[in-house]
Structure 1
Amino acid sequence: MKAEDLLHKMLEIQSPWQIVRIREDLGKHQIDVWIGRQTGKSSWFFGHRAAAAPEDREHVWRHVNLGDQRCLIHAALVDDPAPPGWSGELGMPFSRALARLIAAMMREGIKLQSICGLLDLTVSDLWKFKHTLDNGKAGLSGAPLLATDEAGGPSAVPEPDHPVWERLLDGSLNIDIRLLSLKFLLSKLREQMRLISDSEVRVLKAYELQRYFVRYERALGHELAQLADA
C-alpha cells in the first residue's frame, strides 16, 4: 500500500474527496494535508483528479494526531448533511473528529491542562473550543459540558479573553468580594500568577477565574456590577 493510500485510510477520506498535497515538516513534528473534491475528470494513468481549495476559501483545522505527528487539514468548508470527520466548522480550530475526542475527554473529567499535554494542543485553541462548546455552538450534539446556574438570557460575565481577568489576577484591579469561596479562589490564583511566567498557563488561570463567574453568576451580582464599571 502506498503512503498516500494509507493516509487516505487513516484520515477516512472517501470519494469525492481526495488528498491533493502533503507537506511533512519533521522539525515541527507536523504533517499538513490538503484535501480537495474530485473534479470528475480522470485518466488511465493518474486516476481521478482533485484541486485544492482557493486560498480565499481555504480553512485549516487541527486533526487527530498521526502517531507523534500533529496533523493539520487544509480544505474548503464541507456543505454536507453528514460532513466527514476530517472537516471542521467555520471559525473552529479543530476538525470534527478531534472535537468529538476532546468533548469525550472532558466528559470523562480529564482536566484541560492534561488534555493539552496528551493531544499537544495550545491552551488558547482548547479554551476557544470549550467556550464555543459551552454555548452550544461547536456543531456537536448533546448538552453543554458544564452546567451553569443561568436561567437563560444574556450573561453579564465578560468574555474569557477580556482584560479584566488579567487585571484581577495581577492585583491591578481590586473589587469588594462578598462570596467567601471567591475570596479564597482569587487569593490562590494570585499567588500562582506570581510564580507563573508561561503566557499560556497565565491564560489558563484567567479562564479558570472566568469559568467560576459563569458557574456562580446568579450569586455574584455585587461583584459583576463592579467589573462592569472597571
Structure 2
Amino acid sequence: MRDTEICRKLLQLEGPWNVDRVKVDVEARELHAYLVAGKSWFGRPAFVRSKMRWRHVNVGAYKTFIHATIPEDHDQPLESAFLGEAGSDFTRGLAQRVLECLDAGLGYRQVCNLLEIDVYLAWQIRHAIGEGRLNQEDTRDDQKAEMTPPRQIPPTGDPVWFRLLESDETIDIRLLGLRLLLARSRQGFSELSSNDAKIMRVNTVRRFFIKHEKQLDHEISQLVGLRRDSQAGAEA
C-alpha cells in the first residue's frame, strides 16, 4: 500500500479529498500531509485558489500538519475534522481534541503538554471557543486566567517572521539568548528552497518569544511595530 493511501486512512479523509504526497521529518517528529480536492489536470490540481496549513492531531508520536490546496470549484464549507478555517492555524479535529481534554478536567497547560501544542496555538483555540466559532461555550474562568495569551506575538505564517530572519538589521535585540538564536536561524535562511524548512526555523524563533516573553518587551514591541508598518504598506 502506498504511503499516501496509508496516510489517507490514518487521517480518515472524506471525498473529494485525497493525499497528494506525504513528507515525514524523523528528526523533528513531524508528518506533513499535502491534500488536494477535485479533478486534476496532468497530475496538478485544477483551478487552485489557495494553499492552507493547519496543525492537526498527532499521528502516533508525530506532530501532524495538514497542507490543503483548495480548488475554485470546491464550494462546500470546510467542516471536516482534518481541515480548519481560513486564517487559523489548527484543524477542527485538533480543536475538538482540546475541547475533549478540557471537558475531562484538564487545564490548558496540561492540554498543551499532552497534545504537544504551544501556548499560542492553545490560546487561538480558546479564543475561537469564546467567540462560538467551535459551537462550544467556554465557561472555565479559572482556565481562562491560566491561559493568558502571548502579547501580540504573531502566528507562525505571518510575513514578519520571514522579514526578521532575512535581515540582521530588522530590530534591536537586547537579550543575548535571542541574539544567538537569530544568528543561527538566519544562516542560509534566504537560500532555503523549501517553505517547510523556513517554517521550522520560524517556529523555533517564535517558541523562544513565547517562552521568554516577560524578558522580551523591547523586542516584542519592535516586532509588533514592524508588523504594523508592513500591513500599512500593503494596504497603501
Aligned-pair CA distance for 1:3: 2.8
Identity of aligned residues (%): 24
Report the alpha carbon displacement of residue 113 of structure 1 after superposing the two structures with TM.
1.4
Deviations 1:107-165 (A, max 9, x none): 2220111111111101111112212212223xx223234369xxxxxxxxxx94448xx
For the residues of structure 2 that align with 1:53 and 1:119, how far apart are their CA atoms?
35
Q: 1:58 to 1:52 in 2, by over 3 A?
A: farther
Whichever of the two has the greater Rg, that structure is 1
| Preserved contact between residue 78 and residue 85 of structure 2 (Cα < 8 Å) | no
Counterpart in the other structure of 1:141: 135
Alignment-derived partner of residue 17 in structure 1:
17
Give the conservation status (yes or no) of the 8 Å contact 2:58–2:64: yes
- Equivalent pair of 1:135/1:144 in contact (CA under 8 Å): no
When residues 34 and 145 of structure 1 are mapped into structure 2, their CA distance, relative to the original with a 3 A threshold, is farther
- Offset, 1:38: 3.0
Q: In the superposition, relative to structure 1, how do residues 5 and 131 fare at CA in structure 2: closer, same or farther (>3 Å)?
A: same
The alpha carbon displacement at 1:94 in A equals: 1.1
Query: Relative to structure 1, is the Cα distance of residues 202 and 132 closer, same or farther in structure 2, using a 3 angstrom cutoff?
Result: farther
Contact 2:57 2:93 in 1 (8 A): yes
How far is the alpha carbon of 1:6 from its aligned partner? 1.7
> TM-score scaled by structure 1?
0.56
Q: Which residue does 1:5 correspond to in 2? A: 5
- How many equivalent pairs are there? 151
In 1, distance between residues paired with 2:78 and 2:67? 19
CA distance in 2, matches of 1:16, 1:132: 27
Q: Go from structure 1 to structure 2 and tell me whether the alpha carbon gap of 1:51 and 1:106 turns closer, same or farther (over 3 Å shift).
A: same
- Give the structure 2 partner of residue 184 of structure 1: none
SS at match of 2:38: strand
Residue segments in structure 1 that go unaligned for 5+ positions in a row: 43-48, 149-158, 164-197, 205-230
Decide whether aligned partners of structure 1 residues 202 and 62 sit closer, same or farther in structure 2, where only a CA change above 3 A counts: same
Residue in 2 aligned with 1:57? 50
What is the Cα-based RMSD across aligned positions, in Å?
A: 3.1
**Deviation digits for residues 75-98 of structure 1 (CA, Å, limit 9, x no counterpart):** 146742572210001222211111
Q: Does 1:71 align with 2:64?
A: yes
Q: 1:199 to 1:19 in 2, by over 3 A?
A: same
Amino acid at match of 2:45: A
Q: Give the whole-Å Cα distance in 2 for the aligned partners of 1:111 and 1:52.
A: 44
Pairwise mapping of residues 1-230 of structure 1 onto structure 2 (< 5 A)? 1-39=1-39, 51=45, 57-76=50-69, 79-81=75-77, 83-137=79-133, 140-146=134-140, 160-162=149-151, 200-201=210-211
In structure 2, the partner of 1:167 is none
Distance 1:81 1:128, change over 3 A: closer
- Does the CA contact (< 8 Å) of 2:129 and 2:136 recur in 1? no
What secondary structure does 1:9 align onto? Answer: helix
